[in-house]
Amino acid sequence: MSGARSAIPCVNSRIFMLMTQQCNGKGFIGRISLFMILFLVLIAASPGPKVILFLGDSITAGYGLEPSQAFPGLIEDKIQAKKWNFKVVNAGQSGDTTAGGLNRMDWLLRSRIDVLVLELGGNDGLRGLPAETTRKNLQAIIDRTKDKYPDVKIILAGMKVPPNMGRDYGRRFDTIFLDLAKKNKAVLIPFVLEGVGGVRELNLPDGIHPTAKGHEIIAANVWKVLEPVLRRLAGK
């Protein structure tokens, strides 16, 4: 994992020297005790993994699939292949709206978050909820996260509504994500379902939820935007 190996050799080198000197003339048990203390100090000094929270609805949850087939699981595979020090948390919940996600934030924020991938709003659009309500809820999620973890990186997953929702509503809905990304200096995934939405063979029989193959394309859409952010955080 990135950072861990490079940090250990240089951390507490003075402590290591002092302990080595103190070991001279001590008995076997004394030496074991000192080196056990050193080992615990080094473990404590090793940086833990940075946390990527995927907050979303059934798309993030991987409705109808195994968790490993959902795009957050595929992103985790890409991270592990690079041996980067990140932990992926999938907080996807089928049927969730932006209001539902906002209601879950206090609980989710109990644990540290370094990167928030926010994939909510699709169900708001399908239900025809006011676009301004969706905007306010997403902004509140971002605000709460930043209040608790000021250095958090925000990745905003853009969504679109079907044409049958009306041109005017579709236009107002589309602007939500671009405007919020600009306002919050967040990184935008223009349309997380690009290449998948509306493609029959890439969705389950319900025509809404992506297949495993569809999730591979979604993961590629997300990774294109997320990878540079993680690379900077990993110091690569």
Active site residue ranges:
58, 206, 209
* Residues 138, 156: Cα–Cα separation, whole Å: 9
**How many CA atoms lie within 13 Å of 159's alpha carbon, on the beta-carbon side?**
24
Q: Give backbone dihedrals phi and psi of 84, rounded to 5 degrees, phi first.
A: -90, 150
In whole angstroms, give the CA distance from residue 95 to residue 26: 65
**Rounded CA separation 17/19 (Å):** 5
Token pair, residue 231, equals 């690379």
Q: How far apart are CA 119 and CA 101, in angstroms?
A: 10
